[in-house]
Structure 1
């Protein structure tokens, strides 16, 4: 009886382990074949980054445009998603000194000063936790109507953020005090809001 119980338990354990292993293999294969992952693979570097680079407004120019109001700046330089109630999404670039950085959090950030007054003019998200979907929404590359539902569209936003963060300087590369050049996207809902930028690149300027 004991032998039977032990044998049954052993078989169940083996099946469980085999099942878990199989799930992992299937998951890995699934990721490779996932249409969403394929879309990010095929569009991020070949299409999204060049599109952001082509239409990016310099942060200094955007700050000047915002003096006339968020809608005026948005109509000149941005894309609005979700109608009148949605924020304006901007492809954004700039250069400045990193005056502060916080890597001791999953939502790591770097504060950048572009005008030399010592105060932060924008916040660069360093991840791995990233807020917003500006990378998805700042260009017309990703049309909501081509997705199954809002959940899939939201997953795209997260996947793009993850891909962007993976290309940034790692946590052991200190940025504070350095001059950096960035390219990315931001969503703004008011003219007085400090930009929280999702960068696709941050380059330390020699």
Structure 2
């Protein structure tokens, strides 16, 4: 009988500690304002959310609100903070600004030795680097569009996964449709987003990439 009681107490204690730990940031779940509300109202599954919104909302938002990349580049070079407030969007306080931009230029090369497959495009006097994969990383599109919020998901992990799912769409719906082997020297039109992580550098994740005749 004592053994049974001891096991019951141990199980109860373990359950109590687990519940308590779930409230400790960095242990199981990172909670933030709006998370509890999202969980109660039915938070989104990241993969389903992106599948439902990619072609109907995410791509059209970038297309309609993108600013000429040369204009944004000049503004950032002059005053990064002012440029961010005018053209960018922050996912949260202290986060880097993400910009939705568009442009047309000539492909000068692709570095296939790097996992992100950086493709350089010369747009007038502005050099733009576009990620072609196979690794597409970052949160530029998620943060740039302005409507994908932490409160849409259960926790920080799912919020981060939403960015991963967006980048997966970039690979399958944008990059996969372009013949990268023969693109050097050709002109391209592009839409996409980049995060101002390194001053003077534009590393774009594309939502549209079209080779022009």
What is the TM-score of this pair, normalised by structure 2?
A: 0.73
Match of 2:105 in 1: 96
Match of 1:165 in 2: 171
Match of 1:155 in 2: 161
Match of 1:52 in 2: 62
Matched, 1:43 2:49: no
1:57 is displaced (CA, Å) by: 0.9
Match of 1:176 in 2: 184
Q: Residues 50-89 of structure 1 correspond to what in structure 2 (within 5 A)?
A: 50-83=60-93, 85-89=94-98
Matched, 1:107 2:155: no
Are the equivalent residues in 2 in contact too, given 1:70–1:189 (CA < 8 A)?
A: no
Provide the secondary structure at the position in 2 that maps to 1:121: strand
Are the equivalent residues in 2 in contact too, given 1:103–1:171 (CA < 8 A)?
A: no
Number of residues of Structure 1 aligned to a counterpart in Structure 2? 168
CA displacement, residues 54-99 of structure 1 (integer Å, 9 cap, x when unaligned): 110111111221233111111111101221x221101111111111
- Whole-Å Cα distance in 1 between the matches of residues 104 and 53 of structure 2? 26
Q: Point out where structure 1 has 5 or more consecutive residues left out of the alignment.
A: 1-33
1:156 is displaced (CA, Å) by: 0.6
Larger mean Cα displacement after TM superposition, 39-48 or 173-182: 173-182
Q: CA RMSD in A?
A: 1.8
Which of residues 143, 146, 149 in structure 2 aligns to 1:143? 149
Q: Point out where structure 2 has 5 or more consecutive residues left out of the alignment.
A: 1-43
1:173 is displaced (CA, Å) by: 3.8
1:132 is displaced (CA, Å) by: 1.0
Larger mean Cα displacement after TM superposition, 125-134 or 166-175: 166-175
CA displacement, residues 142-201 of structure 1 (integer Å, 9 cap, x when unaligned): 1101211111111110110010121224465422111101001100045x3311100011
1:100 is displaced (CA, Å) by: 1.1
Are the equivalent residues in 2 in contact too, given 1:128–1:162 (CA < 8 A)?
A: no
1:141 is displaced (CA, Å) by: 2.3
Are the equivalent residues in 1 in contact too, given 2:91–2:149 (CA < 8 A)?
A: no
1:105 is displaced (CA, Å) by: 4.2
CA displacement, residues 21-79 of structure 1 (integer Å, 9 cap, x when unaligned): xxxxxxxxxxxxx9322211110011001101111011111122123311111111110
Q: 1:89 to 1:172 in 2, by over 3 A?
A: closer
